[in-house]
Amino acid sequence: MPDPTSAPADPSDPLAPYDAVLLLSFGGPEQPDDVMPFLENVTRGRGIPRERLEGVAEHYLHFGGRSPINDQNRDLLARLRARLAAAGSTVPVRWGNRNWDPYVTDELRAAHDAGARRVLVVTTSAYPSYSGCRQYREDLGGALVTLAAEGRALRVDKVRHYYDHPGFQGPVVDAVRAGLAAVPAGSRVVFVTHSIPDAMEDSAGPDGHAYTAAHLDACGTVMTDIDATSHSGWDLAYCSRSGPPSQPWLEPDVNDHLRALHADGVPGVVVVPIGFVSDHMEVVFDLDTEAAETARELGLPFARAATAGEDARFDAGLVDLLLERAARERGEDVDRVALGRLGPWHDVCPVGCCPNLRSEKPAACGADWVAPEVDGARR
Ligand SMILES: CC1=C(CCC(=O)O)c2cc3nc(cc4[nH]c(cc5[nH]c(cc1n2)c(C)c5CCC(=O)O)c(CCC(=O)O)c4C)C(CCC(=O)O)=C3C
Ligand SMILES: [Fe+2]
**What would the DSSP string read from start to end of 50-111?**
HHHHHHHHHHHHHTTT--SHHHHHHHHHHHHHHHHHHTT----EEEEESSSSSBHHHHHHHH
Cα-atom radius of gyration of the chain, to the nearest Å?
21
The verdict on the CB of residue 99 being under 6 Å from ligand 1 is no
Separation of 355 CA from ligand 1 center, angstroms? 17
CA 138 to chain centre: 15
Separation of 186 CA from ligand 1 center, angstroms? 33
- Please give the Cα distance from 113 to 51 (Å, whole number): 42
- Please give the Cα distance from 364 to 373 (Å, whole number): 14
- Whether 26 and 133 have beta carbons less than 8 Å apart is answered as no
Strand order in the sheet with 93-97: 93-97, 20-25, 118-123, 155-158
Separation of 122 CA from ligand 2 center, angstroms? 18
The verdict on the CB of residue 273 being under 6 Å from ligand 1 is no
Residue nearest to atom 43 of ligand 1 (CA): 281
Q: Is 231 exposed, middle or buried (0-12, 13-18, 19+ CB in 10 A)?
A: buried
Residue nearest to atom 31 of ligand 1 (CA): 46
Q: Is 282 annotated as a binding residue?
A: yes
Q: ipTM, 2 decimals? A: 0.97
Q: Outline where the chain has alpha helix (H).
A: 35-43, 50-62, 69-86, 104-113, 135-149, 166-181, 198-202, 210-223, 254-263, 281, 292-298, 312-329
Q: Name the residue of 36, 38, 43 whose CB sits within 8 Å of the most ligand 1 atoms, as the mutation to test its pocket.
A: 43
Q: For the chain of 379 residues, list the mean pLDDT of each consecutive stretch of 10.
A: 53 96 98 97 91 94 97 98 98 98 98 97 98 98 98 97 98 98 98 98 98 98 97 98 95 98 98 98 97 98 98 98 98 97 98 95 96 77
- Which of ligand 1's atoms lies nearest the C-alpha of 136? 8
Separation of 30 CA from ligand 1 center, angstroms? 17
Q: Is 136 annotated as a binding residue?
A: yes
Which listed ligand is nearest to 56 at the C-alpha?
1
Separation of 236 CA from ligand 1 center, angstroms? 18
The verdict on the CB of residue 280 being under 6 Å from ligand 1 is yes
Q: Is 278 annotated as a binding residue?
A: no
The verdict on the CB of residue 39 being under 6 Å from ligand 1 is yes
Separation of 194 CA from ligand 2 center, angstroms? 7
- Which of ligand 1's atoms lies nearest the C-alpha of 241? 38
Separation of 141 CA from ligand 2 center, angstroms? 20
Separation of 130 CA from ligand 2 center, angstroms? 11
Helix (H, G, I), strand (E, B) or coil at 271: strand
Residue nearest to atom 41 of ligand 1 (CA): 26
Q: Name the residue of 23, 26, 44 whose CB sits within 8 Å of the most ligand 1 atoms, as the mutation to test its pocket.
A: 26
Which residues, including other chains, have CB under 8 Å from residue 48's CB and lie 6 or more apart? 242, 243
- Whether 98 and 135 have beta carbons less than 8 Å apart is answered as yes
Class of domain 166-310: alpha beta
For 235-274, give one letter per residue: b (16+ CB within 10 A) or e. Answer: bbbbbbbbbeeeeebbebbbbebbbebbeeebebbbbbbb
- Please give the Cα distance from 227 to 156 (Å, whole number): 42
Query: What pLDDT does 4 receive?
Result: 46
Which listed ligand is nearest to 275 at the C-alpha?
1
The verdict on the CB of residue 132 being under 6 Å from ligand 1 is yes
